[in-house]
């Protein structure tokens, strides 16, 4: 597991620049896929033929992109001004090492030195428009020879295992989901199943919107990383989910209200097959499920997520034991004739 997941997490793939991630996925699944195609938006859609056809088309979806940064301007001194791509808390940006542009240049995000700050500025996290990227150049001309407005950057790759079954890395959201789908494609499903590796989730679920229209699936399972709040000082009501407690099943988030009949079916199957799971106890975040639910031909959707501490940061933390439970649950769902328990 670790080798492919590390390769995915370390890849350069901010929203709109998922090519490197997609190439890794194609290499991993091509020997096992019945067919695959890449659409004009960069989404990768894979079909895996099963022993039987389904009455209702099932698609599993994960997004390839990660949060990052985009160059907006170059200062006269040669420093790079930027904005965020996706939701990044500015507190986790300052002082971080990043890689920038097609040449993957090493750089660092910085801000005004403490001895230059006013009394009002001290102890306050500066907004992004007061930060800058230092690539070690002498002046504006020198920087413009290496960087162009519109260039993208991500946190520096830093995948490693530590503690008890823990993984620390950038981009666990949602390279974990991509890895999980790759593992499932290697298996022989009972029923025909479709898989989508989509673009630009961090910037409005844009890739999933196109897949929702092109594939017109009746059922969609979105495989994601979701925020875990099991840290020092967090009240129990705000935990959302907990590392090591298994697959996270959502009943509502900021983008989707999940059909209770789908949630019931997922929970019932998890309990029947001895899969460790937890319900997400906080309405927060959002994912591509909203794109599949709101399309012109909407699907019944489910979200199965891995709990991730410090999500959208340079050092997200997840638990390998949760990954194992999620794969078990997805395998069960993939081999069910239908994930919806209700009348249509």
Give the CATH number, domain containing residue 129: 2.40.30.40
Identify the pLDDT of residue 343. Answer: 66
**Are the beta carbons of 330 and 176 closer than 8 angstroms?**
no
Asked if 208 and 54 touch (Cβ cutoff 8 Å), the reply is no
pLDDT of residue 236: 78
Q: Do 100 and 9 have their domain in common?
A: no
List the structure tokens of 193: 């199943």
pLDDT at 1: 64
Give me the phi and psi of 138, to 5 degrees please.
-85, -35
The model carries a pTM of 0.94
pLDDT for res 123: 74
Structural domain containing residue 297: 2-66+170-334
Assess whether 17 and 28 both reside in one domain: yes
Q: pLDDT (tens digit, 9 = 90+) per residue, 225-268? A: 999 988 888 787 778 899 999 999 999 999 999 999 999 999 99
Residues 43 and 23 in one domain: yes
Please report, rounded to a whole number, the percentage of residues in the chain having pLDDT higher than 90: 84
205 with 190, same domain?
Answer: yes
Q: Decide if 163 is inside a domain.
A: no
220 and 74 together in one domain: no
- Whether 77 and 150 map to the same domain: the answer is yes
248 closest CA partner among 161, 176, 194: 176
CATH of the domain at 276: 3.40.630.10
Q: What is the pLDDT of residues 127-179, one digit of tens each?
A: 888 899 999 998 999 999 999 999 999 999 999 999 999 999 999 999 999 99
Domain boundary among 102, 132, 155: 155
When divided into structural domains, the chain yields a total of 2
């Amino acid at each position: 597991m670790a080798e492919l997941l590390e390769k995915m997490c370390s890849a350069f793939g901010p929203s709109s620049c998922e090519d490197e991630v997609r190439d890794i996925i194609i290499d991993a699944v091509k020997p096992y896929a019945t067919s695959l195609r890449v659409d004009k938006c960069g989404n990768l859609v894979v079909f895996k033929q099963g022993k039987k056809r389904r009455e209702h088309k099932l698609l599993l979806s994960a997004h390839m992109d990660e949060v990052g940064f985009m160059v907006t301007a170059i200062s006269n001194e040669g420093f790079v001004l930027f904005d965020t791509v996706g939701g990044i808390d500015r507190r986790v940006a300052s002082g971080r090492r990043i890689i920038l542009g097609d040449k993957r240049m090493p750089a660092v995000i910085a801000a005004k030195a403490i001895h230059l700050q006013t009394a009002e500025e001290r102890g306050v996290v500066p907004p992004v428009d007061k930060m800058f990227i230092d690539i070690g150049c002498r002046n504006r001309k020198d920087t413009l020879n290496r960087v162009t407005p519109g260039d993208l950057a991500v946190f520096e790759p830093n995948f490693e295992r530590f503690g008890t079954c823990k993984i620390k890395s950038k981009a666990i959201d949602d390279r974990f989901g991509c890895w999980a789908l790759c593992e499932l494609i290697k298996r022989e499903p009972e029923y025909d199943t479709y898989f989508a590796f989509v673009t630009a989730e961090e910037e409005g679920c844009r890739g999933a919107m196109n897949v929702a229209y092109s594939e017109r699936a009746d059922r969609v399972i979105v495989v994601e990383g979701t925020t875990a709040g099991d840290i020092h000082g967090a009240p129990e009501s705000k935990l959302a989910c907990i590392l090591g407690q298994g697959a996270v099943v959502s009943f509502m988030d900021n983008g989707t209200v999940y059909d209770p009949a789908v949630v019931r079916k997922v929970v019932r199957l998890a309990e029947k097959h001895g899969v460790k799971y937890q319900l997400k106890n906080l309405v927060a975040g959002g994912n591509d499920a909203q794109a599949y639910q709101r399309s012109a031909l909407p699907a019944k959707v489910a979200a199965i997520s891995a709990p991730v501490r410090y999500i959208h940061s340079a050092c997200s933390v997840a638990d390998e034991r949760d990954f194992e439970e999620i794969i078990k649950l997805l395998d069960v769902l993939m081999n069910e004739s239908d994930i919806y328990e209700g009348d249509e």
